[in-house]
């Protein structure tokens, strides 16, 4: 699994179609029976497992979007986001993220991402707040789909992880360098690049989530595995279209 053993991206993106900043990001992951996840995937994608388990992540954070040269329009380019995701491989053996849903607080970003990358974005009321070592995320869906679907997460931030302390499972869940999307019999694949995640420990103080279940998954069992990151600068590659997926 190139790039997942040591947390480093296995490629460069010299000509990004956009730049982004992902910050104040919390990964919450639960393990699932692979069959429960596989049945929700499109043709051509197979759930990727770690030691026999599929993993589903709830990932709230704050986003800044820029042009390939890094310029931004503050009124349109900064917003909170929350995604529900799992990890897959395609028929070529390429590994990446499959998004069940992505909530975003900017309608323009939702429309563009749905039209270009065919990603299942939803417009939502969202907030990210910090207070004395805690960070809270709140979202409530506006459009399209199940209006009112909501998620609320608060975590207590802990000490940074040292790179030597991170396990292959930590990298499996966080060091992801490509995404998939699908529309009909066409599939899209896009690469991303950023420096290795600076990760910290975190503890869940409050969690009331409806997004995972809304994706068609069973309600998660047990406490999630949690990672926090202050953020990374990201380069996004152009989507590659693969037609005729069976």
CATH code, domain carrying 40:
2.40.400.10
What was the pLDDT predicted at 73? 57
Using CB atoms within 10 Å of the CB of residue 208, give its burial: 0 to 12 exposed, 13 to 18 middle, 19+ buried.
exposed
Q: Which two tokens stand for residue 52?
A: 């026999």
Q: Name the DSSP class of 72.
A: -
Any idea which residue has 């279940």 for tokens? 213
Distance between CA atoms of 82 and 80, rounded to whole angstroms? 7
* Secondary structure (3-state) at 199: coil
The total domain count for the chain is 1
Residue 16 forms part of a structural domain: no
Q: Answer yes or no: pTM beyond 0.85.
A: yes
Whether the pLDDT of residue 184 is over 60: the answer is: yes
Average pLDDT over residues 92-105: 96
Q: Residue 33 is part of which domain span?
A: 24-242
Does residue 226 belong to any structural domain of this protein?
yes
Please state which of the ranges 49-53, 197-201, 224-228, 239-243 shows the lowest mean pLDDT. 239-243
* CA dist., res. 172 & res. 181, Å (int): 20
**pLDDT tens readout for residues 66-76:** 888 777 755 56
Task: Give residue-wise pLDDT tens across range 9-22.
Answer: 999 999 999 999 99
Strand partners, 78: 64
pLDDT exceeds 90 at position 8: yes
Can you name the residues that pair with 10 across neighbouring β-strands? none
């Amino acid at each position: 699994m190139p790039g997942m053993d040591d947390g480093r991206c296995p490629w460069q993106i010299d000509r990004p179609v956009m730049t982004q900043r992902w910050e104040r990001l919390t990964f919450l992951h639960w393990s699932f029976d692979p069959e429960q996840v596989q049945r929700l995937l499109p043709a051509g994608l197979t759930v990727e497992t770690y030691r026999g388990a599929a993993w589903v992540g709830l990932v709230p954070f704050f986003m800044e979007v820029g042009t390939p040269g890094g310029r931004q329009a503050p009124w349109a380019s900064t917003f909170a986001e929350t995604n529900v995701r799992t990890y897959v491989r395609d028929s070529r053996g390429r590994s990446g993220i499959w998004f069940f849903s992505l909530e975003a607080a900017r309608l323009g970003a939702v429309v563009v991402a749905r039209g270009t990358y065919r990603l299942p974005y939803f417009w939502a009321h969202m907030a990210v707040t910090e207070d004395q070592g805690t960070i809270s995320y709140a979202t409530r869906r506006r459009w399209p789909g199940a209006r009112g679907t909501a998620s609320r997460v608060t975590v207590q931030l802990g000490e940074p992880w040292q790179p030597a302390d991170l396990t292959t499972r930590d990298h499996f869940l966080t060091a992801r360098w490509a995404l998939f999307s699908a529309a009909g019999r066409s599939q899209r694949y896009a690469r991303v690049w950023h420096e290795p995640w600076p990760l910290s420990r975190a503890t869940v103080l409050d969690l009331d989530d409806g997004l995972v279940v809304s994706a068609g998954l069973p309600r998660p069992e047990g406490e999630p595995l949690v990672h926090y990151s202050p953020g990374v600068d990201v380069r996004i590659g152009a989507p590659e279209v693969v037609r005729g997926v069976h």
